Amino acid sequence: MNTLPWHELLFSQGFGTRRICHGLVEQGHVQFPVETAGTWQTVTYPLAEVVATPGLPFRVMGQDWSYHPLAYIVLHKPAGTECSHKPGRWPSIYSLLPAPLRQRPAAGAVQGVQAVGRLDQDTTGLLLLSDDGVFIHRMASPRHHVPKVYQVRCAEPISPGQIRQLLAGVELREERQTVRASAAVTTGTHTLDLTLTEGKYHQVKRMLTSVGNAVVQLHRSRIGQFDLPADLAPGQWRWLSPQELAHVGAKTG
């Protein structure tokens, strides 16, 4: 049973420094539900301990939250955003997340959740984010061959010959070995679902260019066993459930 003082629980969830979290509790900005009464009770003593179970509900300044020892997030990336904490021309995907997710304490120099791989600014679709370094490595490292599915719209009709080339392997400039798709299925005259187990720079666009076509729209729909939720609109995010994480051995408790 893991117990934490309330100010430490807030600190672990990214609500600021320990001093700030101490003040949030002391000033009456933190509440927890009283199940028997169906009401919320205000915490005013920062050192009061609470059993920190995953999913524990609480409120900070009127906003509902739940306790997560580690963060596992799915985000529907919209076009015109960059997967960078220091974006150039376009807004950062991290600006789509609430401040506590960006401020969760970490052992390294970078705070908050980090994206599992990147998508180009004009590419939409599934992004996973976490502060669990083991999970990020397991899902992003080429050594683990995690399949990623992209829905591709091309400028020209897709020919059977182009599909065969993508599956057999194509040569890309500055790459030592040929790069191939593990699956390529046409879904229309100009569209296909392309499955890759690598993550090279502009890989999908470069592969289609190498077979004589061009990408005009790109959307990632799946990473490993994680599908982009149908009810998640562009720019929206949600926590991944313990059931969704069970197959990858993520630390949900």
Residue written as token pair 């997967």: 83
Longest dimension (CA), the chain: 70
Residue type at position 161: G
**Which residue reads 């995907």 in tokens?**
93
Pick the catalytic residue from 64, 120, 122, 131: 120
193 is catalytic: no
Instruction: Give 62's DSSP letter.
Output: T
Do the Cβ atoms of 74 and 238 come closer than 8 Å?
yes
Residue with tokens 């004009």: 122
CA distance 171 to 207: 8
Encoding tokens for residue 75? 């985000």
- Give the active site residues: 120
